[in-house]
Chain A
């Protein structure tokens, strides 16, 4: 059974395009970003609309491969292809782009992209143990602030930023409350529907409307649980999905898990809860608080990435997970290598098995993935 409120979230992304266009026509600036490291509160506080540009479709990859090498992460290729072919309305409407130095593929792609769009590239350190990590980040936050102020002709005051942080925190808490409903067994909401809500967040610019709908969804799901209505069967193994971001349009693996009788309880990755689980400290100076929040994103681009292991430890216990599926994208070295550490960590500390699925955005490996997922689910029963 599916919650009725989901119909609203089904429409979010298609509607988002219209909303972006309207906003643009009303003279509201739009700023694109690609990564969960992006401090989007700054964009909002500058009076602009933040839109996620991170692409998850196969379609523009052929165009991208005219310039980029084939042997590259599909997310980088898809994002680039969308941008240069003019097929992504969000990129088109963006006044400029907030980028970041995360993985090599993205860094070098941004260099090429900067010929098509003005951008500011945040200098994100790849070391988690950098001595002056907070100071370094704070400088980057101020750099972004100045860039926005100059290019948008506004001023980002502490008060304004505080207000935005408050709203965003509210949203994070609500989203985590929604996700937490899946601690229940059987789960009230499927992993692919959760993804629709979390991913769709970036395509609704009216924060209050989004909050209200999430609240309505939570209420409805609670009622479903009380009435004994669920999204999976009682014998479905409980699966946590981790790895590279796999947004809407790239639910292939999650779809297969669900089709084969598994319940995707939640997604730890950037398309899941990674950006929502920690709040920005409202008691601190807002710029410093942003720096402190965003430098702790547990991404594989950062080394060492202990945060991901401890987050996973907590999640597999809290959500009583039976098995973990690590979705890694082809040619994403950081996540592909880290898969081994994650697997060993879960085996040693929690006796939970991990299945790594290395894939791309095409449909060509569907049968091969099915074979693995079926065997993995049988193994968990």
Chain B
């Protein structure tokens, strides 16, 4: 049986997926300072987990910003194409992807075969990326992963600043005024949902959209995005794995689909 491996080395974590046409398994580890080493570690762990040797692997496909550092991959593809394939595999009816990553956020329009039709990226300004959430969570003394639980269904406070740096001081001001932390957290999530939603609206994705990236499981953020765009949002169980999965699927097809 032929296996393919997709490795997605991002700025925060390195993810790997191993795939044989039917089932897949994964590994996630922190990227740390050495993207190459992290990628190699992911590969070794995947092989151990699947209990196979490298000679059972038909192809290794790299993606993510650290892919250039991986000298053991056979092919590399951009995150955009890999996300499209991964999301299409998980949700065949999906027409688009919204991904909020640590460094950038993106919207991708895909056709019925999982091919990219169009895409748009924000990597110039922190305000529309996971970085914004990180900075805001820090000010409030939370982890990004807790933000969802920290606001419940409270009325979000309006955060006007478009820039991460200004928003930070705005929040400090709001705290000083005695605005509740819950409302501020909700406000932060609403603000990023609006930014990313507006970017995605340029591509006219809907109505079936896959929400990826580390914060996609955040129910409140999902809800705000849904409200802002009017689209149905589905988040995979492991939303940060979509890129690596897509890379593994593309690889599987390239090496002849196990035949």
Contacts and interface: CB of A to CB of B under 8 A. Distances in A.
B99 to A, nearest CB: 12
B77 interface: yes
B124 A378 contact: no
A375 B81 contact: yes
Contacts of B78: 371, 374-375, 378
Interface string A365-381: 10010011011101100
- By size class, the interface of chain A is 10 to 19
Interface in A229-243: none
B208 interface: no
B117 A378 contact: no
A372 B122 CA distance: 10
B100 interface: no
B80 A378 contact: yes
B54 interface: no
A353 B123 contact: no
Given A371-B78, A374-B78, A379 B119 contact: yes
B123 A375 contact: no
Interface in B116-135: 116-119, 121, 123-124
Contacts of B121: 368, 371-372
B115 interface: yes
A376 B116 CA distance: 9
A379 B80 contact: yes
A378 B81 contact: yes
Interface in B75-129: 77-81, 115-119, 121, 123-124
Contacts of A368: 121, 123-124
A357 to B, nearest CB: 11
Contact of A379 (B65, B79, B81, B123): B81
Contacts of A353: 117-118
A304 B115 CA distance: 35
Contacts of B115: 379
Nearest to A373: B78
Interface string A88-126: 000000000000000000000000000000000000000
A368 B65 CA distance: 10
A7 to B, nearest CB: 33
Nearest to A356: B120
B176 to A, nearest CB: 32
- By size class, the interface of chain B is 10 to 19
Contacts of A374: 78
A360 to B, nearest CB: 11
Nearest to B118: A353
A240 B150 CA distance: 50
Nearest to A343: B118
A1 to B, nearest CB: 26
A374 B116 CA distance: 12
A368 B106 CA distance: 13
B213 to A, nearest CB: 16
Most buried by A among B65, B78, B116, B121: B78
B6 to A, nearest CB: 15
A371 B119 CA distance: 11
A375 B124 contact: no
Contact of A378 (B116, B118, B123): B116
Nearest to B122: A368
A294 B253 CA distance: 53
Nearest to B76: A374
A337 to B, nearest CB: 13
Interface in A325-381: 353, 365, 368, 371-372, 374-376, 378-379
B119 A378 contact: no
Contacts of B80: 375, 378-379
Nearest to A380: B116
A353 B120 CA distance: 12
B5 to A, nearest CB: 19
Nearest to B202: A340
Nearest to B80: A375
B204 to A, nearest CB: 11
Contacts of B81: 375, 378-379
A241 B117 CA distance: 19
A264 B77 CA distance: 21
B123 A371 contact: yes
Nearest to A374: B78
A374 B117 CA distance: 14
B157 to A, nearest CB: 30
Given A371-B78, A371-B123, A374-B78, 9 more contacts: A353-B118, A368-B123, A371-B65, A372-B121, A375-B78, A375-B79, A376-B119, A378-B81, A379-B117
Interface of A: 353, 365, 368, 371-372, 374-376, 378-379
Interface of B: 65, 77-81, 115-119, 121, 123-124
What 4 pairs across the A-B complex have the smallest Cβ distances? Answer: A375-B80, A375-B78, A379-B116, A378-B81
14 contacts: A353-B117, A353-B118, A365-B124, A368-B123, A368-B124, A371-B123, A372-B121, A375-B78, A375-B80, A375-B81, A375-B119, A376-B119, A378-B77, A379-B115
